[in-house]
């Protein structure tokens, strides 16, 4: 069966500075990332800032051109599409952003923002649009009358719902959720998370769910990919990976999640130092500079480990078992 | 035992031209004992940051404190002190660490000089001694290679290192109380773990009292001695940490726990609190949580619940937990 | 640093050349033939015409005219003034000094007193003094420099005849006057034009500095400094003023070109023998060779000014310095 | 801030009023009185602001000058706003070398002192009609607008709501037209209002040095130039045009500053 989305050996490098800049450092944001997402499946993409997870999300939608690699949506290589064909395909793949304040045009009404996709793809006759917008607003748990208001009249959680309604308008089958709840208050996060779950079930949606919070991803994702310095270090079923991580970085990441339970005094792994700069990554294993694995040796510094199957998930570590 | 810090009836309000004023912090009272770690937990806009700023009286322009407010530090009421007297408390007795390490450091000043400033502000020391002292502080907060970092500018350091610098700066004048306002929120999880470990270590070695202001119940667990839960400008629950996590009394506290994804959860769905956090300008009457509360009764909409015992070492401001029924 | 400097200088040279190129092309795009238009009835003298044709031509195409003029420039030949009957280079040599003196002093005052007042009013926003400063700068900003100059002349030279109305020095000053007398005479002539220039230009740096200082005064690091007990003066100096200097210096480069307009009009009011009044007079006389050459020199001076501003920016901003 | 805007609108309204009906109310602006004694009269009931050395009514010239000033400045800011917005948008939204090249052009435009370009053009073509002068002023005023628009466009280009429009399948043209351009408009409006003051000042300045509006059309700058000759014996000639100029520029500045404050996003 063809997966809904497949990403093969995705690479994204940025030149630092503008078009006329002198030859400068190259930021290696994404290095050789591959994964697939099936229809109705949610893949969680976890990593810290600078790990390249947002870049992967944008490159998958071709909002940024990959340096190398192939992104296939329903079997079609996106790179082979003309700009017009790509725009047509955009109906099928959408994005929800992190910042609920910047993700809506402050000068347009909520209704106009939600209707934008309907207009672009001429999905409905003009006079039927307001009715559809009202339905969409109600589907995400908002009052239909809000269509005439402006974004600044809403709270963060409400704005995030509006952003979701805008994405749903074009009836996509796949949505990139780029940290959709991390800017929200704790008590509101759960509301939006539940909404995304309900929509997934009702519309058989697939998500690429980008987040830095492992516990959150465990809650919503079927499978999880852990990124470090532009590469996937561990990928597999969400609970398998998070409940018993095999890559040292995943182990540290999971153990660092603050858990609201004082009785569970698990041993914390505190990594030393900062992640290296993506413009100057270490040769060999990207995690070698902070790795605490007892068997770490010169091979780790010299040779980049590739993903291999260990205990039901793929791990990029020479010594994981 | 007299507490190190005693805050009573803290009221902070912004007088408006129209005569009415918003009251982002409303009648907050608590104490911090020497060496104790008290956590002040709440969501954005609940008044927890203003409460922290009020302690060394660093409120923003336009904010005023109520006449009944008492902030007693080691027996001295800080509300009665002049600006220059306060300066001998700021940094020296009560030090602060802020949320954003990117903007809390002066970008055009070397980090060593900024730490030394905190030493010079309170002691007469020679430049050389101050530099020695700064180097020792940098070592203490875990900065590798302090001799090369002391002359760095903030932009040359990572977020985690800048937060260490801010902590070194706070420790420079040997304070008794550290007010840490969301000290790890802007940091990545693995760096957050480093900073929390550092705070634990410093507290143990220096016998430092800490008021930890945060929205994250996760970092409070297993770290704080006591927890104060704030909602809409008021303290709604206060308890020993273990008690709060095992038996949360206030519906808001319970709602918060149910909203947090946990690593050991079996279900996929969370149980959120409905509605959204109100803004200070439109805070509800009575119990301010009542519009979002599943247990609310008619009495809650009109009468403000007092903070009363709800269990051992536990206070909660809720009519329902206090035995009132429909 | 040095690599950056070389790049920046190359950029300034390129900008200057392109700017001059644009001016010359613009001249050729305008209706009419520049040479015969500017010669008018003065074109009778074949010697003058020949002198002019070295650099200006009526019968060549745009590209040839550009190369001809740039060739002249390369030889250090700025052509011949029709109205003053003098080589342009000679004129500019005489006029550059007074302009640099007036402009430089204006810049100096704007960027010392102006910045100091800006910071002061940022730190004391609700006082009557700050409001007075603010009101005065609005008046200075909105009144044209030449109006300010005229009013000054009317008050201090005509109603109260304390100061001379213009020129660089008194023609009646005895030739054998001592150095001190000559100096005092220069100062007396400088006061009114300088005052007019400062009043007309100080508002921009002052207001920008005030805005910048108000922004930094609200910065978290200022709160952090107060929280560690730093003295108010040190907070104002090290944590408000120093960081607020960076955005000001970036604006300095943009601001120098604006000074030119002030110079043209103020110098005209006071018959100050500088580049500004030279440009104004030459334009009035439609003396194109002088206007283009003087304009070119002004552009070069402005470019040098921006260059220095950028270098200064690199010095005050550590984030720039390390790249 | 409200009061600032109010004052700005009031003053500007007064000037427009002066420009529209002033020349109807006042005597003919170029009529010279026959009586030789009518030269350089101080203000009186018959001549509100006195008469000049050519025995013309100063109020009439002032009112007609307002027309000239406003026409020149309005044309100038309109031309500058349109050119600046187009060029700034191109620099801010075009990718790769095109955007970078347009940006270089803006930088050259900014480095060229506006007055120098104007003087070169005026030296070549001589005195101009108000409309032509306005167009030329506008043609030199665009770089400041373009710089602002480019900055706004660069900022907006990265804004999530613009990325969202791309993701919805909007064409690049639609994104620029519907999402980016409206976002730059407040900045353009502020720059245009402030630019009005600059244009009024420049026109007056050029007329003051005798290279602006074609004589004998009255212009405030030209009137100040004429007043300069009579400074010792008829100082009132100076007051009226200076006052008018000051009012015009402060009206535009007040309005611009008020707009800047009220249109700043996120302060609402």
A282 inside domain = yes
pLDDT at A21: 47
A102: nearest CB among D160, D168, D179: D160
Q: Which of A86, A102, A152 sits opposite D159 (nearest CB)?
A: A102
| A204-A209-A214-A216 Cα dihedral, nearest 10 degrees | -50
Per residue in D161-212, pLDDT (tens digit) is 999 999 999 999 999 999 999 999 988 998 898 899 889 989 999 999 888 8
Cβ-Cβ contacts under 8 Å between B and C: the total is: 85
pLDDT tens readout for residues D86-114:
999 999 998 778 888 898 889 888 888 88
CB C295 within 8 A of CB D120: yes
Q: Would A321 be classed as within a structural domain?
A: no
Q: Give the separation between CA D268 and CA D259, rounded to whole angstroms.
A: 13
Q: Is C227 on the interface with B (CB under 8 A)?
A: yes
**Token pair for residue A46?**
């976890």
Question: How many Cβ atoms are within 10 Å of C41's Cβ, its own excluded?
Answer: 5
Q: Enumerate neighbours of A (3 or more CB pairs within 8 A).
A: B, D
With a cut of 70, say whether residue C145 has pLDDT above it: yes
B–A contact (≥3 CB pairs within 8 Å)? yes
The neighbouring-strand residues paired with B239 are B227, B314
The pLDDT of C175-200, averaged and rounded, is: 82
Q: How far apart are the first and last CA of chain A?
A: 30
Q: Report the chain C residue with the minimal C-alpha distance to residue B96.
A: C227
Determine whether the interchain pair B245/A214 forms a contact, defined as Cβ–Cβ distance below 8 Å. no
Is the CB of residue B242 less than 8 Å away from at least one CB of chain A? yes
Q: What local confidence, expressed as pLDDT, does residue D159 receive?
A: 92
D266 pLDDT band, cuts 50/70/90, is very low
Name which of D96, D161, D166 is nearest A104 (Cβ-Cβ).
D161
For the residues of D97-166, what is the DSSP string, one character each? Answer: HHHHHHHHHHHHHHHS-HHHHHHHHHHHH-SB-HHHHHHHHHHHHHHHHHHHHHHHHHHHHTSHHHHHHH
Residue numbers in C near D231 (CB within 8 A): 150, 153-154, 158
Cross-chain residue pair A152–D182, CB shorter than 8 Å: no
Q: Give the span between the Cα atoms of A39 and A173, in whole angstroms.
A: 8
pLDDT in tens, A224-255: 999 999 999 999 999 999 999 999 999 999 99
- Other CB atoms within a 10 A radius of the CB of residue B64 amount to 13
The ranges assigned to domains in chain C are 2-320
* Residue C303 with chain D: CB contacts under 8 Å: 111
Burial of D28 by CB count in 10 Å (0-12 exposed, 13-18 middle, 19+ buried)?
Answer: exposed
Q: Is D88 exposed, middle or buried (0-12, 13-18, 19+ CB in 10 A)?
A: buried
This complex has an ipTM of 0.85
Chain D positions in Cβ-Cβ contact with residue C154 (cut-off 8 Å): 231, 235, 238
Query: pLDDT of B6-24, one tens digit each?
Result: 999 999 999 887 777 888 9
Cβ-based neighbours of B291, under 8 Å, separated by 6 or more: B275, B278, B284
Per-residue model confidence as pLDDT tens digits over D48-85 = 677 777 667 777 788 888 888 889 999 999 999 999 99
Q: How confident is the model at residue A139 (pLDDT cuts 50, 70, 90)?
A: very high
| The predicted structure's pLDDT at residue D37 | 65
Q: Output the six-digit token pair for B84.
A: 């220059």
pLDDT digit string (tens) for D27-41?
A: 665 655 566 666 666
Mean pLDDT of the region D244-264: 82
Compute CA distances B136 → A63, B96, B116, whole Å: 49, 20, 12
Give the model's pLDDT for residue D39: 65
Residues of chain B contacting residue A254, judged by C-beta atoms under 8 Å apart: 263
Average pLDDT over residues D238-253: 86
Minimum CA–CA partner of D205 in chain C: C265
Q: Is the pLDDT reported for residue D219 higher than 80?
A: yes
Chains with ≥3 Cβ pairs under 8 A against B?
A, C
Please state the rounded mean pLDDT for residues A89-112. Answer: 92
Q: What is the CATH number of domain C2-320?
A: 1.10.3720.10
Residue C87 has pLDDT above 90, yes or no: no
Sign of the alpha-carbon dihedral angle for B143, B146, B152, B153: positive
What are the extents of the domains in chain B?
5-93+175-325, 106-172
Nearest one of B78, B110, B228, B102 to B163, comparing CA atoms: B102
CATH number at residue A107: 3.40.50.300
Tell me which residue has tokens 């078992």: A321
B272 inside 8 A of chain A by CB: yes
Q: Is residue A162's pLDDT more than 50?
A: yes
> Nearest C-alpha of chain D: how many angstroms from C80?
15
Chain B positions in Cβ-Cβ contact with residue A263 (cut-off 8 Å) = 245-246
pLDDT at B116: 95
pLDDT tens digits along B232-253: 999 999 999 999 999 999 999 9
> Is B158–A274 a contact, with Cβ atoms under 8 angstroms apart?
yes
Alpha-carbon distances of C319 from B106, B110, C191, C316, rounded to whole Å? 12, 11, 40, 9
Structure tokens at D252: 């535009």
Q: Which residues of B touch A243 (CB under 8 A)?
A: 263
The chain-wide mean pLDDT, for chain A, equals 91
Question: Is A233:A32 a contact under the CB 8 Å cutoff?
Answer: no
Subunit contact C229:B172, Cβ cutoff 8 A: no
Q: What is the pLDDT of residues B70-94, one digit of tens each?
A: 999 998 999 999 999 999 999 999 9
The whole-number mean pLDDT for each consecutive block of 10 residues of chain B, a chain of 326 residues, reads 89 84 91 95 92 94 91 93 93 92 91 94 92 95 91 92 94 94 91 92 93 93 93 95 93 93 83 88 92 92 93 93 78
Kindly state the average pLDDT of the residues C34-57. 65
Residues 6+ apart with CB under 8 A from D78: D138, D192
Nearest CA-CA partner of C170 in C189, C183, C156, C193: C189
Question: Are the beta carbons of C232 and C128 closer than 8 angstroms?
Answer: no
On whether any CB of chain D is under 8 Å from the CB of A55, the answer is no
Per the CB < 8 Å rule, is B91 touching C227?
Answer: yes
Q: Under an 8 A CB cutoff, do A187 and B43 touch?
A: yes
User: What distance lies between CA C272 and its chain's CA centroid?
Assistant: 14
Question: Which partners does chain D have (≥3 C-beta pairs < 8 Å)?
Answer: A, C
* Interface residue A301 vs chain B (CB under 8 A): no
The verdict on a CB contact (< 8 Å) between C261 and D231 is no
- Check residue D34 and give its pLDDT: 60
pLDDT of residue D268: 35
D123 interfacial to chain C (CB closer than 8 Å) = yes
HSE, side-chain direction, 13 A CA sphere, residue C139: 11
Distance from CA of D98 to the nearest CA of A (A): 9
- A73 to chain D, any CB pair closer than 8 A? The answer is no
Per-residue b or e along A32-59, where b marks 16 or more CB atoms closer than 10 Å to that residue's CB: bbbbebbeebbbbbbbbebbbbbbbbbb
Residue A229 structural domain: 5-315
* CB interface of A with B, residues 37-96, below 8 Å: 48-49
Share of chain B above pLDDT 90, in %: 77
How far apart, in whole angstroms, are the C-alpha atoms of residue C212 and residue D224? 37
How many domains does chain A divide into? 1
Candidates D150, D169, D177: best to mutate against A (most CBs of A within 10 A) is D169
Contact state of B193 with A270 under an 8 Å Cβ cutoff = yes
CATH tag for B5-93+175-325 (out of 3.40.50.2300, 3.20.20.210, 3.50.50.60, 3.40.50.300): 3.40.50.300
Q: Closest to C298 (Cβ–Cβ): which among D113, D123, D124?
A: D113
| Nearest Cβ partner for D183 among A91, A107, A117 | A107
CA C71 to chain centre: 27
Question: Which parts of chain A fold into alpha helices (H)?
Answer: 53-60, 83-89, 110-120, 129-139, 156-168, 186-203, 214-220, 238-243, 248-256, 298-302
Q: Which residues of B touch A193 (CB under 8 A)?
A: 261, 270, 272
DSSP-derived 3-state class of residue B144: coil
- The CB-side HSE value for B205 (13 A sphere, CA atoms) comes to 10
Q: What distance in Å separates residue A104's CA from the closest CA in chain D?
A: 5
Chains C and D touch (3+ CB pairs under 8 A): yes
Q: ω into residue A196 within 30 of 0, thus cis?
A: no
Q: Distance (Å) from the C-alpha of residue A117 to the closest C-alpha of chain D?
A: 6
Q: Provide the pLDDT confidence category of residue C323 given band limits of 50, 70 and 90.
A: very low
**B313 with B307: CB under 8 angstroms?**
no
Domains and CATH numbers, chain D: 2-19+72-267 (1.10.3720.10)
What pLDDT was estimated at residue A19?
Answer: 42
User: Would you place residue A161 in the very low, low, confident or very high pLDDT band (cuts 50, 70, 90)?
Assistant: very high
How many contacts does C have with D, using Cβ atoms within 8 A? 140
Average pLDDT over chain C, rounded to whole? 81
Q: pLDDT tens digit string along C4-33? A: 788 888 888 888 888 888 888 877 776 655
Residues of chain D contacting A88 with CB distance shorter than 8 Å: 169
């Amino acid at each position: 069966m063809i997966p809904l989305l497949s990403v093969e050996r995705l690479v994204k490098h940025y030149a630092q500075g503008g078009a006329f800049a002198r030859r400068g450092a190259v930021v290696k944001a994404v290095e050789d990332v591959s994964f697939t997402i099936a229809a109705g499946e949610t893949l969680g993409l976890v990593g810290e800032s600078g790990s390249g997870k947002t870049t992967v999300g944008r490159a998958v939608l071709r909002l940024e051109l990959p340096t190398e690699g192939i992104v296939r949506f329903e079997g079609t290589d996106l790179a082979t599409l003309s700009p017009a064909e790509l725009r047509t395909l955009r109906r099928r793949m959408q994005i929800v952003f992190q910042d609920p304040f910047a993700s809506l045009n402050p000068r347009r009404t909520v209704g106009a923002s939600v209707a934008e996709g309907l207009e672009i793809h001429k999905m409905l006759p003009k006079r039927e649009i307001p009715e559809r917008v009202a339905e969409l607003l109600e589907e995400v748990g908002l009052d239909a009358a809000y269509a005439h208001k402006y974004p600044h009249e809403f709270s963060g959680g409400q704005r995030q719902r509006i952003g979701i309604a805008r994405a749903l308008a074009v009836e996509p089958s796949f949505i990139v959720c780029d940290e959709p709840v991390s800017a929200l208050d704790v008590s509101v996060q759960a509301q939006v998370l539940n909404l995304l779950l309900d929509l997934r079930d009702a519309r058989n949606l697939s998500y690429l769910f980008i987040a830095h919070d492992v516990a959150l991803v465990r809650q919503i994702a079927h499978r999880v990919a852990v990124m470090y310095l532009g590469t996937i270090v561990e990928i597999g079923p969400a609970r398998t990976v998070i409940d018993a991580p095999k890559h040292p970085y995943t182990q540290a990441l999971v153990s660092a999640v603050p858990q609201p339970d004082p009785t569970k005094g698990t041993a914390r792994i505190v990594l030393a130092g900062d992640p290296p700069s993506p413009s100057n990554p270490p040769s060999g294993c990207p995690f070698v500079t902070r790795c605490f694995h007892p068997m770490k040796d010169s091979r780790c510094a010299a040779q980049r480990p590739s993903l291999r199957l260990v205990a039901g998930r793929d791990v990029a570590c020479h010594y994981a078992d | 035992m007299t507490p190190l810090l005693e805050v009573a009836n803290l009221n902070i309000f912004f007088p408006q031209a129209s005569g009415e004023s918003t009251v982002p912090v409303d009648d907050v009272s608590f104490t911090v004992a020497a060496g104790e770690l008290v956590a002040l937990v709440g969501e954005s806009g609940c008044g927890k940051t203003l409460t922290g700023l009020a302690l060394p009286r660093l409120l923003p322009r336009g904010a005023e404190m109520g006449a009944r407010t008492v902030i007693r530090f080691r027996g001295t009421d800080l509300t009665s002190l002049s600006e220059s007297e306060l300066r001998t408390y700021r940094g020296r007795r009560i030090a602060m660490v802020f949320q954003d390490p990117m903007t809390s450091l002066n970008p055009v000043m070397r980090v060593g000089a900024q730490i030394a400033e905190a030493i010079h502000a309170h002691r007469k020391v020679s430049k050389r001694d101050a530099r020695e002292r700064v180097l020792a502080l940098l070592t203490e907060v875990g900065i590798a290679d302090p001799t090369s970092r002391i002359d760095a500018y903030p932009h040359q350091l990572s977020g985690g290192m800048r937060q260490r610098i801010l902590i070194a700066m706070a420790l420079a004048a040997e304070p008794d109380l550290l007010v840490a306002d969301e000290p790890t929120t802007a940091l990545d999880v693995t760096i957050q773990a480093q900073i929390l470990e550092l705070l634990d270590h410093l507290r143990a070695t220096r016998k430092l009292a800490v008021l930890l202001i945060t929205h994250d119940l996760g970092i409070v667990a297993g770290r704080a001695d006591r927890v104060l839960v704030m909602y809409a400008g008021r303290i709604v629950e206060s308890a020993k940490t273990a008690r709060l996590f095992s038996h949360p009394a206030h519906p808001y506290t319970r709602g918060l726990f149910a909203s947090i994804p946990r690593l050991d959860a079996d279900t996929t769905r969370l149980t959120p609190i409905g509605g959204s956090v109100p803004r200070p300008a439109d805070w509800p009457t009575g119990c301010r949580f009542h519009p979002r509360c599943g247990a609310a009764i008619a009495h809650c909409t009109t009468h403000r619940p007092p903070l009363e015992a709800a269990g051992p070492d536990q206070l909660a401001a809720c009519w329902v937990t206090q035995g009132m029924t429909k | 640093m040095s690599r950056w400097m070389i790049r920046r200088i190359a950029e300034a040279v390129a900008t200057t050349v392109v700017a001059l190129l644009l001016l010359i092309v613009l001249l050729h795009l305008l209706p009419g033939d520049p040479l015969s238009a500017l010669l008018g009835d003065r074109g009778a003298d074949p010697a003058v015409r020949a002198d002019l044709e070295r650099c200006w031509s009526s019968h060549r195409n745009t590209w040839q005219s550009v190369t001809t003029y740039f060739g002249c420039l390369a030889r250090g030949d700025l052509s011949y003034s029709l109205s003053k009957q003098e080589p342009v280079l000679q004129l500019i040599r005489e006029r550059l000094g007074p302009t640099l003196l007036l402009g430089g002093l204006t810049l100096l005052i704007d960027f010392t007193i102006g910045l100091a007042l800006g910071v002061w009013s940022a730190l004391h926003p609700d006082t009557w003094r700050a409001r007075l400063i603010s009101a005065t700068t609005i008046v200075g900003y909105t009144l044209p420099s030449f109006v300010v100059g005229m009013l000054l002349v009317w008050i201090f030279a005509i109603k109260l005849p304390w100061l001379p109305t213009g020129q660089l020095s008194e023609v009646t000053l005895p030739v054998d006057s001592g150095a001190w007398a000559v100096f005092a005479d220069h100062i007396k002539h400088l006061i009114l034009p300088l005052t007019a220039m400062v009043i007309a230009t100080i508002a921009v740096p002052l207001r920008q500095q005030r805005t910048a200082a108000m922004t930094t005064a609200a910065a978290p690091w200022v709160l952090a400094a107060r929280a560690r007990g730093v003295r108010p003066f040190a907070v104002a100096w090290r944590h408000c003023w120093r960081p607020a200097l960076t955005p000001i210096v970036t604006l300095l480069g943009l601001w120098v070109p604006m000074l030119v307009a002030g110079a043209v009009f103020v110098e005209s009011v006071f018959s100050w023998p500088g580049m500004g009044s030279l440009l104004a007079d030459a334009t009035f006389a439609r003396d194109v060779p002088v206007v283009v050459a003087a304009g070119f020199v002004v552009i070069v001076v402005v470019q040098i000014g921006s260059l220095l501003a950028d270098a200064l920016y690199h010095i005050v901003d550590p984030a720039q310095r390390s790249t | 801030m409200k009061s600032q805007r109010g004052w700005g609108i009031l003053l500007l309204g007064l000037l427009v009023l002066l420009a529209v009906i002033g020349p109807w109310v006042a005597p003919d602006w170029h009529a010279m009185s026959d009586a030789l004694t009518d030269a350089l009269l101080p203000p009186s009931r018959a001549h509100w602001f006195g008469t000049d050395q050519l025995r013309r009514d100063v109020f009439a010239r002032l009112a007609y000058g307002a027309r000239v000033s406003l026409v020149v400045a309005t044309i100038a800011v309109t031309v500058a706003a349109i050119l600046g917005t187009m060029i700034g948008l191109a620099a801010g939204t075009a990718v790769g070398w095109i955007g970078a090249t347009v940006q270089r052009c803006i930088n050259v435009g900014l480095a060229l002192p506006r007055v120098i370009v104007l003087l070169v053009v005026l030296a070549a073509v001589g005195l101009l009609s108000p409309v032509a002068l306005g167009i030329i002023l506008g043609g030199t005023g665009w770089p400041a607008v373009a710089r602002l628009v480019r900055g706004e466009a660069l900022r907006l280009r990265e804004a999530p709501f613009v990325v969202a429009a791309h993701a919805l399948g909007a064409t690049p043209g639609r994104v620029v037209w519907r999402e980016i351009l409206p976002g730059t408009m407040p900045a353009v409006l502020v720059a245009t209002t402030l630019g009005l003051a600059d244009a009024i000042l420049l026109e007056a300045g050029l007329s003051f040095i005798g290279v602006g509006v074609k004589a004998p059309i009255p212009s405030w700058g030209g009137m100040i130039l004429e007043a300069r000759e009579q400074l010792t014996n008829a100082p009132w000639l100076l007051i009226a045009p200076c006052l008018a100029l000051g009012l015009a520029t402060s009206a535009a500045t007040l309005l611009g500053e008020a707009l800047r404050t009220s249109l700043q996003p996120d302060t609402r």
